[in-house]
């Protein structure tokens, strides 16, 4: 019996040791390791997921969709629940638009949650669900689509994978379009099936933006710019169509065009909205503002006659015409119609540097227009204290000052609408509520504005520099511009790189439509009369009847 008792005692001792070990393990897990185990359990069984708000749509002024958000889903996985990662990766990769090694790497991660795809289309999500792969999770989201693809893409901009605006209106109006994201808490059982879903914070959809942009007109303008691209092979081209009566932007177009559904694949220059982000010297398109200031100050009249030699000396600078000529007599109106550099400089000298500087700033140059877009440039206007002796010789003819196409369009609109400078407007309504229009600022008397409009009619006449812009049945007014670009290596004006432009409006007596065309570094011909005026004519020829503007 002694042997049996000893064996029983030994077994009892072993049992007590095992019991002590189990108790110690229990105390260890329940005490020391409890916090980390609790976190692991939560990680594996409780997921808190952001629910993106449905982004507001963007439409043109007639309700045509330009940017919409379509139903989609974020596809995620709980890796340790996926039974056969290799087989799952092979089946998922084609539907996720990824490669099998990339999907397998995600499925082999050590975390309790990993994204396989973001904003996947509803059709692909349904195919993935049909595979019935255990361990996948689908969170409703939305996918940004641009139905018109190329149309006004630099203006509209794009969004990132998280749905946040990255450029254009999508970025500038992100707070309006984006809404407010929500959160969803999902509790899974031991095999990964959801047993509880809660929404501590519901997503609030973004608001709809209705623009002043007119889609068919925008498409036509972009086609015209594409023709410029094919014919003159410029670095780029920009056009703006505006209603000068209220500052509403009907088109804002850039070439080269960009596919809004592949914004990241576009070159940086093409992706830029040069209508607001490109500074350039305006050249002769700036001359009407010099003449406006002189008329308003009473230092010249439209019929004043100037004796104009071939060149004029201002301090250490000799200024001549774009084409050689002898000494002639021209009136103030003829100086503008024929775009005489010498004549404009003489008018600028009569106005004087201090008053000239005041008028430049009065027309809004040197500051942003305030349009509803981010990244707008302010242009560059030389401070009066920094004028040199020759500044009053080059500034009146649009050299030594830089503008954006939108700044120039806005300033011309002030001449067109009777002297009122208005803030350009791109957003017509938010969620159906009409956007408020700010009152304009009078910068020019109605009489002087009318005189300038009459002078600019001469530009488009048979003897004017913009005769290529004329349209039968309509009286147009406008101005050509040709400017040398600065050579960054030498700091001097380039002899091979130019900007050609044309700005004009119709009907000349009571303008309802204003068009600006700017062509950056055209090849071959480069004068604004050659490369920009015909484009202006083509745009106007379409737009006037399209918008039911009668001849006049």
Query: Residues 204, 180: contact at Cβ < 8 Å?
Result: yes
When pLDDT is cut at 50, 70 and 90, the band that residue 289 belongs to is very high
Averaged pLDDT, 134-160: 90
Average pLDDT, the chain: 89
C-alpha 453/C-alpha 417 separation (Å) is 10
Residues 6+ apart with CB under 8 A from 432: 208, 210
Which position has the higher pLDDT, 237 or 458?
237
- Identify the band that residue 31 occupies on the pLDDT scale cut at 50, 70 and 90: low
Average pLDDT over residues 240-268: 93
Q: Indicate which residue of 142, 284, 292, 340 is catalytic.
A: 284
Q: Quick one: tokens of 201?
A: 């914070």
Q: What is the dihedral of CA 402, 404, 406, 411, to 10 degrees?
A: 0
Strand partners of residue 137: 76
Give mean pLDDT, residues 366-379: 95
Per-residue b/e over 427-438, b at no fewer than 16 CB within 10 Å?
bbbbeeeebeee
> 495 in helix, strand or coil?
strand
Percentage above 90 pLDDT, the chain = 62
Residue-level pLDDT at 150: 94
331: phi then psi, degrees, rounded to nearest 5:
-80, 170
Judged by average pLDDT, the poorest of 102-111, 282-291, 419-428 is 102-111
Q: Is the pLDDT of residue 190 over 70?
A: no
Contacts with 514 (C-beta within 8 Å, 6 or more apart), sequence order:
241, 242, 243, 244, 409, 412, 413, 416, 503, 504, 505
Categorize the per-residue pLDDT at 37 as very low, low, confident or very high, splitting at 50, 70 and 90: very low
Residue 414 has pLDDT above 80, yes or no: yes
pLDDT at 194 over 60: no
Q: How far apart are CA 28 and CA 392, in angstroms?
A: 87
CA distances from 222 to 252, 258, 538 (A): 9, 11, 12
pLDDT tens-digit readout, 292-313: 999 999 999 999 999 999 999 9
Mean pLDDT over 516-544 rounds to 95
Q: What tokens were used for 234?
A: 């410029």
Tokens of 132: 């019935």
Q: Is the confidence at residue 85, as pLDDT, over 60?
A: yes
CA distance 287 to 332: 11
pLDDT of 304-355, one tens digit each? 999 999 999 998 889 999 888 899 999 999 999 899 999 999 999 999 999 9
Per-residue DSSP letter, 460: T
Q: What angle do CA 528, 532, 533 make, to 5 degrees?
A: 90
Question: What pLDDT score was predicted for residue 352?
Answer: 95
The average pLDDT across 530-551 equals: 95
Confidence of residue 233 (pLDDT cuts 50, 70, 90): very high
**Residue 202 and residue 50 in contact, taking contact as beta carbons nearer than 8 Å:** no
Q: Are 189 and 38 in contact (CB under 8 A)?
A: no
Q: Which of the pair, 197 or 248, is modelled with greater confidence?
A: 248
The pairing of strands 493-506 and 477-486 is antiparallel
Comparison of pLDDT for 197 and 104, the residue scoring more: 104
Q: How far apart are CA 340 and CA 315, in angstroms?
A: 19
Domains parsed from the chain with CATH numbers:
215-546 (3.40.710.10)
123 is catalytic: no
Instruction: Between 460 and 359, name the one with better pLDDT.
Output: 359
Structure confidence at residue 36 (pLDDT): 55
Q: What confidence category does residue 141 fall into, taking pLDDT thresholds of 50, 70 and 90?
A: confident
pLDDT of 529 above 80: yes
Query: Tokens in use for 50?
Result: 């952001």
Distance of alpha carbon 170 from alpha carbon 154, whole angstroms = 10
Q: Is the pLDDT of residue 198 over 80?
A: no
Residue 4's pLDDT band (boundaries 50, 70, 90)?
low
Residue 422 has pLDDT above 90, yes or no: yes
**Residue range 250-273: average pLDDT?**
91
pLDDT of res. 236: 96
**Dihedral, 273, 277, 282, 286 alpha carbons, nearest 10:** 100
User: Around Cβ 452, how many Cβ atoms within 10 Å?
Assistant: 27
Percent of the chain residues topping a pLDDT of 70: 89
pTM of the model: 0.85
Local structure of 108: helix, strand or coil: coil
Q: Stretch 479-494: mean pLDDT, rounded?
A: 88
- Encode burial over 247-273: b for 16+ CB neighbours within 10 A, e otherwise: bbbbbbbbbbbbebeebeebeeebbbb
pLDDT band at 166 (very low <50, low <70, confident <90, very high): very high
Task: Categorize the per-residue pLDDT at 433 as very low, low, confident or very high, splitting at 50, 70 and 90.
Answer: very high
Lowest mean pLDDT among 146-160, 216-230, 465-479: 465-479
């Amino acid at each position: 019996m002694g042997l049996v008792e000893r064996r029983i005692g030994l077994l009892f001792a072993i049992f007590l040791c095992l019991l002590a070990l189990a108790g110690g393990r229990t105390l260890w897990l329940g005490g020391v390791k409890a916090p980390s185990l609790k976190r692991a359990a939560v990680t594996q069984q409780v997921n808190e997921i952001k629910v993106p708000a449905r982004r507001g749509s963007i439409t043109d002024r007639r309700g045509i969709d330009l940017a919409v958000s379509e139903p989609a889903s974020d596809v995620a996985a709980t890796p340790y629940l996926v039974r056969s990662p290799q087989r799952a990766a092979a089946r998922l990769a084609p539907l996720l638009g990824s490669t099998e090694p990339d999907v397998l790497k995600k499925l082999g991660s050590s975390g309790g949650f990993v994204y396989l795809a973001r904003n996947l289309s509803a059709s692909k999500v349904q195919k993935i669900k049909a595979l019935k792969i255990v361990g996948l999770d689908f969170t409703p989201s939305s996918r940004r689509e641009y139905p018109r693809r190329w149309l006004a893409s630099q203006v509209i901009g794009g969004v990132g994978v998280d749905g946040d605006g990255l450029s254009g209106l999508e970025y500038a109006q992100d707070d309006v379009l984006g809404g407010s994201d929500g959160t969803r808490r999902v509790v899974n059982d031991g095999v990964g099936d959801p047993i509880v879903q809660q929404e501590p914070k519901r997503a609030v959809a973004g608001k709809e933006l209705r623009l002043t942009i007119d889609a068919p007109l925008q498409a036509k303008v972009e086609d015209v710019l594409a023709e410029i691209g094919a014919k003159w092979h410029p670095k780029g081209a920009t056009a703006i169509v505006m209603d000068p009566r209220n500052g509403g932007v009907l088109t804002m177009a850039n070439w080269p065009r960009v596919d809004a559904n592949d914004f990241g694949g576009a070159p940086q220059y093409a992706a830029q909205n040069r209508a607001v982000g490109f500074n350039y010297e305006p050249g002769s398109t700036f001359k009407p503002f010099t003449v406006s200031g002189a008329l308003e100050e009473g230092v010249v009249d439209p019929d004043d006659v100037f004796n104009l030699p071939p060149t004029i000396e201002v301090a250490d600078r000799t200024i001549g015409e774009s084409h050689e000529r002898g000494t002639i007599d021209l009136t103030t109106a003829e100086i503008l119609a024929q775009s005489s550099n010498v004549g404009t400089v003489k008018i600028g000298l009569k106005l004087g540097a201090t008053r000239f500087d005041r008028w430049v700033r009065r027309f809004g140059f040197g500051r942003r227009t305030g349009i509803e877009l981010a990244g707008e440039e302010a242009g560059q206007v030389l401070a009066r204290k920094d004028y040199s002796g020759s500044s009053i010789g080059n500034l009146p003819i649009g050299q030594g000052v830089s503008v954006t196409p939108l700044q120039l369009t806005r300033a011309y609109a002030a001449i067109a609408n009777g002297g009122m400078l208005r803030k350009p407007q791109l957003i017509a309504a938010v969620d159906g509520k009409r956007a408020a229009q700010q009152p304009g600022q009078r910068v020019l008397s109605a009489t002087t504005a009318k005189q300038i409009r009459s002078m600019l009619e001469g530009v488009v006449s048979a003897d004017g520099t913009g005769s290529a812009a004329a349209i039968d049945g309509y009286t147009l007014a406008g101005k050509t511009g040709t400017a040398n670009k600065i050579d960054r290596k030498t700091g001097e004006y380039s002899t091979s790189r130019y900007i050609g432009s044309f700005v004009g409006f119709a009907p000349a007596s009571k303008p309802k439509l204003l068009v600006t065309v700017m062509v950056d570094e055209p090849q071959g011909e480069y004068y604004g009369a050659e490369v920009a005026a015909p484009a202006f004519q083509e745009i106007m020829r379409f737009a006037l009847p399209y918008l039911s503007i009668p001849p006049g």
